[in-house]
Amino acid sequence: MRSRRFLCAALAFLALAGILSACGRGEGNSMKRKIRDLPADFAYAVRTEDHTVSYTDSQGRTIDLYGRLWEPDAEGVYPAVILCHGFNGRCTDFPTECRRFAARGYVCYAFDFCGAQAGGKSAGRDARTYTPYTMVEDLSAAVDDVAGLPHVDGGQLFLLGGSQGGLVAALAAAELGERIAALALYFPALNIPDDWRNAPVRDTPLMGYTVGAEYISSVRELDPYAVIGAYPGDVCIVWGDRDALVARRVIDGAVAAYGQERVELKVIPGAGHGFGGAALETAVETVCAFLEARTYEGGQP
């Protein structure tokens, strides 16, 4: 009798476990995110507009980041890509990327890092007071702002940075963590701290602009490889094997910092520091495919 009661109890337990398991599987299926699958030849019409992000930085300065939005010209809620220009660059440095990504259903925001270029439209900081750290603050503020736009899925935010903007995007991603769905980098200049390690701490003209003493002083102690690996997501790196400013060892160091299993590395033969023509087309298609493989239907589960 006792063994019979034990057998009945065991069968009841197994039945209950099966029900719970089935419920769990049902809930899991309803919560599972499906990769968005747009037809290969589909393209949204694209609209553009100015967009300014205003915030107070860690020094109490009021910063106004001038930028441009490129977005699908259709009602809906879309993932977003925030783009980060290189040294002495502008928000207009990514027209091909922004139009291509927006046509594929992404809201794109590119902005002038404050104080980081000659003739930039952002306000509140200049060459004497901008550093890679203020650029990370700018990018974090842009991420917060874009995430709050009514037509943006704040759970699907991507970063793309080139050269110095790649360094900044990598540092910001490490800080923002899972808020960034994936990270793409063009020839990321993680060698910048080494380049300034032994330089005099003074305002220094470079490539048509100025690197301030505060920039040099702040960056000399930075080891980006010890920081960037904290970002937990997938990373795409696009680099040309004729790059005279970012050596292959820099790229290999980035891959090692992230872990090879998380990095998609595209080496473009013959391309230098900056992409144009066929190299640009390859870079854009590589990043677009990388993003689309990590973009989900609808909003957050």
Q: pLDDT tens digit string along 74-124?
A: 999 999 999 999 999 999 999 999 999 999 999 999 999 999 999 999 999
In a domain, 275, yes or no: yes
Tell me if residue 269 falls in helix, strand or coil: coil
Report the distance separating Cα 157 and Cα 106, nearest Å. 10
**Per-residue pLDDT, 12:** 41
In a domain, 232, yes or no: yes
What tens digit of pLDDT does each residue of 22-32 get?
Answer: 333 333 333 46
**Per-residue pLDDT, 32:** 61
Q: pLDDT at residue 212 above 70?
A: yes
In a domain, 217, yes or no: yes
Domains held by the chain: number? 2
Report the distance separating Cα 160 and Cα 146, nearest Å. 14
pLDDT exceeding 90 applies to what percent of the chain?
Answer: 85
In a domain, 297, yes or no: no
**Same-domain check for residues 5 and 49:** no
Say if residue 169 is exposed, middle or buried (CB neighbours under 10 Å; 0-12, 13-18, 19+).
buried
pLDDT exceeding 70 applies to what percent of the chain?
Answer: 88
In a domain, 109, yes or no: yes
Q: pLDDT at residue 3 above 80?
A: no
**Same-domain check for residues 49 and 193:** yes
**Same-domain check for residues 86 and 20:** no
Q: Are strands 78-84 and 107-111 parallel, antiparallel or unpaired?
A: parallel
**Same-domain check for residues 274 and 176:** yes
Determine which helix (DSSP H) or strand (DSSP E) holds 108, and give its type and residue range: strand 107-111
Q: pLDDT at residue 20 above 80?
A: no
**Same-domain check for residues 168 and 112:** yes
Residues linked to residue 7 through DSSP beta bridges, in sequence order: none
pLDDT band at 298 (very low <50, low <70, confident <90, very high): confident
Comparing 4 with 143, the larger pLDDT belongs to: 143
The rounded mean pLDDT for the chain is: 90
Report the distance separating Cα 187 and Cα 165, nearest Å. 10
Using the 8-state DSSP alphabet, how is residue 149 labeled? S
In a domain, 300, yes or no: no
Using the 8-state DSSP alphabet, how is residue 260 labeled? G
Q: pLDDT at residue 62 above 80?
A: yes
Report the distance separating Cα 157 and Cα 49, nearest Å. 19
**Same-domain check for residues 71 and 131:** yes
Q: pLDDT at residue 5 above 70?
A: no
In a domain, 248, yes or no: yes
Q: pLDDT at residue 46 above 90?
A: yes
**Same-domain check for residues 135 and 262:** yes
CATH assignment of the domain containing 123 = 3.40.50.1820
**Same-domain check for residues 55 and 194:** yes
Q: Are strands 107-111 and 62-72 parallel, antiparallel or unpaired?
A: antiparallel
The residue segments making up the domain with residue 7 are: 1-32
**Same-domain check for residues 8 and 114:** no
**Same-domain check for residues 126 and 170:** yes
Report the distance separating Cα 213 and Cα 251, nearest Å. 27
What letter represents residue 285's amino acid?
A: E
pLDDT band at 33 (very low <50, low <70, confident <90, very high): confident
Residues linked to residue 205 through DSSP beta bridges, in sequence order: 210
Residue whose entry in the numeric block shows the structure tokens 């870079």: 283
**Per-residue pLDDT, 90:** 96
Provide, for the chain, the percentages of residues in helix, strand and coil under a 3-state DSSP scheme, each rounded to the nearest 5.
40, 25, 35
**Same-domain check for residues 77 and 130:** yes
Report the distance separating Cα 299 and Cα 152, nearest Å. 9
Is residue 253 within 8 Å of 227, Cβ to Cβ?
no
CB burial of 197-218 (b: ≥16 within 10 Å; e: otherwise) equals eeeeeeebeeeebbbbebbbeb
**Same-domain check for residues 91 and 4:** no
In a domain, 299, yes or no: no
